[in-house]
Amino acid sequence: AAILNPSSINRITHVWVGAATMGSFFVLSISAYWIIRGRHLAVATRSFGLALILAAIGTVGAMLTGDANARMVAVHQPVKLAAMEGVYDTTDQIATLTIVGMPDDAESKMDWEIGVPGALTALVYRRLHDKEGDPLSIPGLDLVPEDDRPMTAVVYACFHIMVGCGTFLVGVVGLGIYHWLRGTLWNTKWLLLLFIIGVAPAAIANQTGWFTAETGRQPWVVHPASPRVDPDKGAMSPLWLINTTMPESEQVRLWTPGDPVDDLEGWHYPYGRMVVTDQKGDHRVLEANVEPGDDVTISYDGTKSMRTSEGFSKALRSGAVLWACVMFLLIYFMLSILWIMVLNHKIHKGPDDYTPSGGEGGLISAMRRALGEITSMTGLRGGSSR
């Protein structure tokens, strides 16, 4: 299931470039510190240059794969996209890309919003209007019942922190390459200071990206199928909407971005429900736990899903689940402390001065030296540096 998931390739490549960015800024931070202090300059400048190239690949790759991920979310999880951008209402206007704002779930609105008009529409659809010239809007949180919405403030904050940190890293890397090519990088102290602290936003971006993915799919541990009629057509595909308060023959409709929004009140995605089509082409919502007959075809099946609240084994007590969460956080905290200790160790100790003898060439010797350096970084190897 994980391999066949349409988002798998985008997700794993985003993780790869995120790891490359994190690792490169780890090296850049240490190297920049050494350069400012005038220590280990031969090693520091070489390692900085190599890490800067990797950081450029990682940050640009993160932008490209992140954009692809966001467009994938728009197709398969439009509720998550609405929460990421704080889009509460489905309007008949092009959507603003929010830069700063405070989601207010109680009032279903954004407070103190500052954004770029139309930019979100352009990023999702790659245009502002449909073929008829109507503005393309973004489906909002109003198309899903409140019980099926994620915690908007958490998703919004995590996503924007990730994007903000990523933007900072892209800018720093761009300036670094500019000064490197001009030959002024080693004398630009303020930029080297930015590289020193850059390891922090790199780590924060990776963590908040993970939080965005996991909190944005709530309240589902197994998310329902995309409400798009044809997900292969992308974000311009019509959406299935249902309204069970309407007469049975009028409970299903299709809505396409660019269509009027005046009569959308009460309509929402058919998550957890099934839409069937009879031989006449009429759609209707199938009641829960009712099997479709031979005279209808399944047009949308949102029943193959599971809420997070239903994902716990009945054999587990709530205390066991809480204990597992506490232990996970404790282990994660300890790993973070270890990571900081390794960083501090390399900053203050510096590289090992090692010159291989004439008989120590080849791949095996190189691997042995690399392994020795790894154990040195974790503080597992005793003795003084050679």
| pLDDT tens figures, 122-145 | 999 999 998 888 899 999 999 998
Given pLDDT bands bounded at 50, 70 and 90, which one contains residue 363? low
pLDDT band at 168 (very low <50, low <70, confident <90, very high): very high
Helix (H, G, I), strand (E, B), or coil: what is residue 277? strand
Tally helices (H) and strands (E) across the chain: 9, 9
**Residue 201, pLDDT score:** 95
Q: Are strands 283-286 and 296-301 parallel, antiparallel or unpaired?
A: unpaired
Please give the average per-residue pLDDT across 367-379, as a whole number: 48
Give residue limits of the domains in the chain.
8-222, 239-310, 320-377
Those residues with Cβ within 8 angstroms of residue 220's Cβ, 6 or more apart along the chain or in another chain: 271, 305, 306, 307, 308
- Using one digit for the tens of pLDDT, what is the confidence trace for 294-350? 788 999 988 888 888 777 777 777 677 778 888 988 998 898 888 888 878 877 777
Lowest model confidence (mean pLDDT) among 79-93, 167-181, 191-205, 354-368: 354-368
Across the range 235-255, mean pLDDT stands at 90
- For residue 3, the model assigns a pLDDT of 65
Binned at pLDDT 50, 70 and 90, residue 377 comes out as very low
CA distance 296 to 280: 9
What tens digit of pLDDT does each residue of 4-36 get? Answer: 676 778 888 999 999 999 999 999 999 999 999
242 vs 6, more confident: 242
pLDDT for res 372:
54
Q: For residue range 95-115, list pLDDT tens digits in order.
A: 999 999 999 888 888 899 899
Residue 278 tokens read as: 């009879």
**Residue type at 33?**
Y
pLDDT at 376: 45
- Indicate the length of the chain as a whole number: 386
Residue 215 CA to residue 248 CA, distance in Å, equals 34
Mean model confidence pLDDT for the chain:
85
Q: Which range among 94-108, 151-165, 288-302, 359-373 shows the weakest confidence by mean pLDDT? A: 359-373
Does residue 93 register a pLDDT over 50?
yes
Sign of CA dihedral 146, 152, 155, 156: positive
The proportion of the chain whose per-residue pLDDT surpasses 90, expressed as a percent, equals 48
Residue 16's pLDDT is 93
The burial of 146, by beta-carbon neighbours within 10 Å (0-12 exposed, 13-18 middle, 19 or more buried), is given as exposed
In degrees and rounded to multiples of 5, residue 264 shows phi and psi of -90, -5
| Band (357; pLDDT cuts 50, 70, 90) | low
Encode pLDDT of 253-287 as tens digits.
999 988 888 888 889 999 988 999 988 888 888 87
According to DSSP, the residues that pair with 95 across neighbouring strands are: none
Question: Residue 28's closest CA among 169, 125, 167?
Answer: 169
Q: Supply the pLDDT for residue 83.
A: 94
pLDDT for the residue 366: 53
In contact, 83 and 150? CB cutoff 8 Å: yes
**Quick check: 267 and 276 in contact, CB under 8 A?**
no
